[in-house]
Amino acid sequence: MIFILLFILGLAVGSFLNVLIYRLPRNLSIFGRSFCPHCKKKIAWHDNIPLLSFAILGGKCRYCRSPISLQYPIVELTTAILFVLVFLFPNESIKYQVLSIKYLVSLGYYLLIISSLVAIFFIDLKHGIIPDKIVYPAVVISLFFLISQYLNILISHFLSATASFLFFFLLVLITRGRSMGMGDVKLAFLMGLFLGFPKIVIALYVAFLTGAAVSLILVLWGKKKFSGGTVPFGPFLVFGTLLAFFFGEVLLRLASPWLNF
Ligand SMILES: [Zn+2]
């Protein structure tokens, strides 16, 4: 039952994330009804139901018949699946009784950060920016969450955040911001706060590994046509964060013969 609720909640949140992904980089108000980006007609509520409307309309606007981006159902479905995963793979810090206040606060916090990460993934992929309007509130909420719920791990998570921030800040200085920008530096701080040590190390490792692999494939294909000719790094950071968050313990156990944790 909880799975279905979380899945439906994820679809609804994913639908809202699509609005953020479209409007934040264009500096449009996030309030107000959705409209078709082609004919600008307002979209009726019954044409705005996550997944279903896309399927019923055959992926086309009801009025001008221009195609609706596949991004819409993809974001909705991804968010829904991640919301269910949060419940399936409880972080070691939320082994409290379901429906206790502490559990619900933690669940809410994780869903919020994961939603922010999904928005960052697609905005950076399409526009090459990581909006402060998402990262700053997420950092403040993370600090507030740690202080109010997990004071015992606040220092270690804050140190992870600072170390990861400095690491990226140095990278940006050394590469003169060619491959990464301040957006990545701020996101790295958020990742540290969210994951703590040693998961932050896994997240960064996965991000660099997948980033390098994908860049190499794109170069070989001669398809490097992203913003400014570089591949945005934010999506890889988000991927690493999600992988470390959900499977961090498993990955650490697999790697433990070679590590000294
Ligand atoms: Zn239209």
pLDDT tens-digit readout, 120-165: 999 999 999 999 999 999 999 999 999 998 888 999 999 999 999 9
Higher-pLDDT residue of 210, 250: 210
| CA 54 to ligand 1 centroid distance, Å | 13
| CA 31 to ligand 1 centroid distance, Å | 19
Q: Residues 25, 146: one domain?
A: no
| CA 104 to ligand 1 centroid distance, Å | 40
Structurally, the chain folds into a number of domains equal to: 2
Q: Residues 73, 148: one domain?
A: no
Q: Residues 117, 78: one domain?
A: no
Helix (H, G, I), strand (E, B) or coil at 235: helix
Give the pLDDT of residue 132.
95
Nearest in space to 197 (alpha carbons), one of 169, 163, 239: 163
**Residue at a domain's end among 62, 88, 114:** 88
Question: What is the full DSSP assignment across 116-174?
Answer: HHHHHHHHHHHHS---HHHHHHHHHHHHHHHHHH-HHHHHHHHHHHHHHHHHHHHHHHH
Q: Residues 83, 102: one domain?
A: no
Q: Residues 97, 133: one domain?
A: yes
Cis peptide before 198 (omega within 30 of 0): yes
**Residue at a domain's end among 88, 111, 146:** 88
**In the structure, what pLDDT confidence band is assigned to residue 228 with cuts at 50, 70 and 90?**
very low
Q: Residues 66, 105: one domain?
A: no
Q: Residues 189, 84: one domain?
A: no
| CA 255 to ligand 1 centroid distance, Å | 51
CA 183 and chain centroid, separation: 14
| CA 223 to ligand 1 centroid distance, Å | 30
Give the pLDDT of residue 127.
92
Q: Which residue has the tokens 């994908």?
A: 214
| CA 53 to ligand 1 centroid distance, Å | 14
**Residue at a domain's end among 21, 55, 88:** 88
Q: Residues 42, 125: one domain?
A: no
Name the token pair of 175.
């590469």
Q: Work out the angle at residue 78's Cα, subtended by the Cα atoms of residues 238 and 20, and round it to the nearest 5 degrees.
A: 70
pLDDT, the chain, mean = 89
Residue pLDDT, tens place only, 53-90: 999 999 999 999 999 999 999 999 999 999 999 988 76
Domain around 257: 90-261
| CA 64 to ligand 1 centroid distance, Å | 4
**Amino acid (one-letter) located at 19:** V
Radius of gyration of the chain (CA): 19
Q: Residues 51, 20: one domain?
A: yes
Does residue 213 contact residue 166 with C-beta atoms inside 8 Å? no
| CA 68 to ligand 1 centroid distance, Å | 9
Q: Residues 179, 114: one domain?
A: yes
